[in-house]
Amino acid sequence: MSITDQIHNYYEHKVLEVLAEETADKGFSQDQLVDLACLALNNLPTRYYRHEVDIAFYMSAHEHEEINRRTRQAVKDAVSYLQSKV
């Protein structure tokens, strides 16, 4: 197993979760969803972890709330941007 298989960016999973919720009824193509994920992730900091339990255990409730808020905003901004270009 390589090192890159063992490290993950926490925001990637969060963005994909929020993206699925926010775009369920908007009719975006798979390519557009990938673009939206990239746009959102480029507006978020990175938060790397090796084991997901580490993130869950070591982050405070306030940090979890802040990550959720920032992720939702980044996805909404990405959707707005893409819709303005279509």
Encoded tokens for 45: 């900091």
Q: Model confidence over 30-56: pLDDT tens digits?
A: 999 999 999 999 999 999 988 888 787
Bridge partners (DSSP) listed for residue 48: 9
pLDDT (0 to 100) of residue 86: 73
Q: How far apart (Å, rounded) are the C-alpha atoms in residues 26 and 63?
A: 30
Higher model confidence: residue 27 or residue 55?
A: 27
* Cβ(82)–Cβ(36) below 8 Å: yes
pLDDT average, residue stretch 9-33: 94
Q: Is the pLDDT reported for residue 59 higher than 90?
A: no
Q: What residues does each domain of the chain span?
A: 3-85
pLDDT, tens digit, for every residue of 60-85? 999 999 999 999 999 999 999 999 98
Instruction: Decide if 66 contacts 44 (C-beta within 8 A).
Output: no
pLDDT at 58: 85
